Amino acid sequence: MKRLGLMLSLIAAGCGGPDLAPPAADSAQIVVALSASARDGVARPRSGGMDNYGGGSEAKGRQFSRVNYDDLADIVVYLEGDGLGDAGPAPRSLRLEISEDGADHRQLLLAPSGLTSLTIANRASGPRSVFAMGNQDGFDVTLAPGEESRVTLKVPGTYELACDEDAGLAVTIIVAPTTWAQIGEAGDDVAFDRVPPGPVEIVVVAPRLPRWSRRVTAAAGRRESVTAEVGVNSMTRAK
């Protein structure tokens, strides 16, 4: 049996990360390096047989071990903590296009409290009824071919978007609890600048993988660097 995991390992504060100016004296920097690889002898996906996420019309039932870790995208990173405020870099507007091939994203990031609007565009030849369900919020819209609709999700949490006409279409929407949130891909360094000092929980969510978190202390005038490594761990088979 295989279990997909996300492992975070701290490296020395002030080391690594993208080219950033030194932290301001009254605030901190947090840099999260996103690294993805298949480990423990797990085979890479066969050529032509898998998309980047294991999504699309055959999403259900696919093996996690066949994720293309070399091209893993739509990885959400966000910070939680008291007193962070609303000055973070989370996106304020997003767009999702739906076609005969499914959706153009497998995971989306929204800011909290209705600060982000999501526009859904139907590029398929027929109508599409899409809906999202989650924690105390959601939406349900029907779009004619070529039609667009703007929706909002105000309650932080994870929402699963599906489509009545395409059973294989699946998109995860993450509404972050703070505006200190960004989205990246394997190999990126996700940097947060001018973070208010104090305890901070770093949360990383990759498509089809369990979320992982690490608590750090954001110290004024310092940079905290964290590596988030997406991989596969072996697990003893149940007897």
- Output the CA angle 130-135-140, nearest 5 degrees: 20
DSSP tag of 124 = S
Is the per-residue pLDDT at 231 higher than 70? no
1-10: pLDDT as tens digits: 333 344 433 3
39-67: pLDDT as tens digits: 554 444 444 444 443 343 333 333 444 55
The token duo for 214 is 């690490």
The token duo for 61 is 């039932």
Q: How far apart are CA 130 and CA 161, in angstroms?
A: 7
Using CA atoms, how far residue 120 sits from 140, 143, 186, in Å, is 11, 9, 26
199-216: pLDDT as tens digits: 999 999 888 777 788 999
148-181: pLDDT as tens digits: 999 988 888 889 999 999 999 999 999 999 999 9
Spell out the domains of the chain, with CATH numbers in brackets: 1-87+182-232 (2.60.40), 91-175 (2.60.40.420)
